[in-house]
Structures are given as C-alpha cells and as structure tokens.
Amino acid sequence: MPASYVTLHRSGELAGRIESALAGLAACELCPRRCGADRLGGETGFCGAGRQAVVASYNPHLGEESVLVGENGSGTIFFAGCNLGCRFCQNHDISRDPGAGTAADPEELAGVMLALERQGCANVNFVTPSHVVPQILEALPIAAEHGLSVPLVYNTGSYDSLDTLRLLDGVVDIYMPDVKIWDPVLAGRYLGAEDYPKRARAAVTEMHRQVGDLVIKDGLAVRGLLVRHLVMPGGVAGTGKWMEFLAGLSRDTFVNVMDQYRPCGDIEDLPEIGRMVAAAEFQAALDEAKGRGLHRLDDRGGGFWARFLK
C-alpha cells in the first residue's frame, strides 16, 4: 500500500495544497506569529526564512526515540531558522541564523529525502519545519515520483497554525511535537511567545485528530502522535499541567519525558534556568506522567538522569 502522501499526489489533492501553501507566502501567516512578510518577494519574518528552505544538515540520526531509529537511524533534515525564540535553545546556532546552511530548491530538497531513504533510514524526519511547510510540500511530488515511500515525521516545537496543520492532513504520518512551557507569562519570558501554551494545545489536539495514538509495528512507529516534553529546572515548564492535558487527549499518548536540559543559548539574565535538572526533579516529572495514567513512556534510558532512575 503506498504512503498516504503518495496517494494524495496521485489524486491531484497534493497539488492543490501546494498551490495554496505557496500563495500564502506572499503575506506570510504560516505560523501563529502571522508576520505578513512577502516571502515570495524576498522578505523575511520572525523565522528569518524567505522563499526557499535552508537545510542546515541532514543525516541518519541514531539518537532519536527507539521507535523512530530502527537499524539505520531516523532520517533527520534540520532546517535553519525558527518561529520560536527559545532563550535556552540547544540548536541556537541554527535557529538564530537562517543562513546557517544551504538554500534548497524543490529538486534539491526532494533529493535529500531520497538520499536518506536510500541509506536505509526508517523515516524522513523534518526538524523545526513549521516555517517551511510550503517548501516541504513543494518537494514531495518530486520525491514521490522517484520512489519515496517511508513515513514522514513532523518534528516541531508545537507553535503551529491550525490552517497550516490542515494542509498536512494525510501528508504527515508521525507528528512529534515538543510541548514546552505551560504558563503564558513564562512562555513569553523563555520562548518569546505568550500565546504559546494555547497555540500548542490546539496544535497537538489537531495532530492527534489527524493521526491518532502512535502505532508501532515490528518495533517501529508507522503512524500517530509522539509527544516530547523537556523537564526544566524549578518546574518552569509546567510538567504536571502538560501531562494532565496529554492524558485528557488520550491515556495511550506516547510521551518522551526528557531530562536533557542543559544551560545554553542566551540565558545570562535567567539564573533560574542556569543549571541542569536535578534527579529528584526528573523523577517527579515521571511520577506526574504516570500519576495521570500515561503509560506509554519512552524507555530508552538515553538521557542523563534516566540512566540512574531504573
């Protein structure tokens, strides 16, 4: 059975979505910031992206969740630029510099997808894709015509527009949102987006509507929702609230509670998050998830404290 995006392409539906998505770049409202930048005319908005997507790197990634990795890795494509302003971003050299990579036309981006599949990757994993959805859609027919068939992963910071997500219905197989900060005031302080919590909740709900709970076959994710949550010092992420929300969505939600936070980025004036997460804080986060009935927790044990909390 062909991948859903192949079926959409053959039906002609994908072409219509591409036309709509590209037209929207003329006064960009692709994400909740709604900058209005004329990206077709060379302007850039908050994300720093113009007409073309910029690929910072691509490679088989063995450090993703085990259900994405398989034997040969998840085929990650890291895009430069970002529609969030996370002060603690671990990829700040990429997210803050939209030119940190190579601009890719549709043929080149399709070639990257195909190269990853030909290396045996279990999927194509678009990392920080919210600001380049039209460019991804534009490249897909070319990739599909040349045989691309692996699942597509939308690996996002969750600051996504519902209209944009609806363009991806039937295109994305696996949504992987990273839910960050629950409190609007703290979201403004740390992410540069006070509306982040409500936008992220709406986005994750739409993602779940499209693909449902994560389906795993022979140890690999093939479709569904996989949620990440980074535990932060002092509980500033609002872990308990996020776990309550996810459990309300479905107690079968697959969640990776992550302990990899480390001080980086631009946090000199944010001493409260200027340290790693303590073991007790991470354990409390796990307890929050389990206490709300979430039982499908990523068990790689690949994080820092996870190695010691068996």
Q: What is the CATH number of the domain that holds 82?
A: 3.20.20.70
pLDDT digits (tens, 9 = 90+) for 15-62: 999 999 999 999 999 999 999 999 999 999 999 999 999 999 999 999
pLDDT band at 301 (very low <50, low <70, confident <90, very high): very low
What mean pLDDT do residues 272-280 have? 96
pLDDT of residue 231: 98
Amino acid found at 116: L
Residue 6 has pLDDT above 80, yes or no: yes
For residue 221, the Cα-to-chain-centroid distance in whole angstroms is 15
What mean pLDDT do residues 69-74 have? 96
pLDDT digits (tens, 9 = 90+) for 141-185: 999 999 999 999 999 999 999 999 999 999 999 999 999 999 999
CA distance 20 to 161: 15
Residue 14 has pLDDT above 70, yes or no: yes
Q: Which domain holds residue 139?
A: 4-307
Mean pLDDT rounded to a whole number for the chain: 95
Cβ–Cβ < 8 Å for 143, 113: yes
pLDDT of residue 98: 67
Residue 191 has pLDDT above 70, yes or no: yes
DSSP E strands, the chain: 53-61, 74-79, 102-104, 124-127, 152-156, 174-179, 215-217, 220-230, 254-258, 296-297
Residue 302 has pLDDT above 70, yes or no: no
pLDDT of residue 307: 53
**Apex CA 142: angle with CA 112 and CA 144, to 5°?**
90
**Apex CA 21: angle with CA 16 and CA 25, to 5°?**
145
Query: Exposed (0-12), middle (13-18) or buried (19+): which is 7, by Cβ within 10 Å?
Result: middle
Residue 100 has pLDDT above 90, yes or no: no
- pTM score: 0.96
pLDDT band at 300 (very low <50, low <70, confident <90, very high): low
Number of domains comprising the chain: 1
CA distance 194 to 179: 14
pLDDT of residue 5: 94
**Apex CA 79: angle with CA 268 and CA 154, to 5°?**
105
Q: What is the CA radius of gyration of the chain?
A: 18
Phi, psi of 173 (to 5 degrees): -90, -40
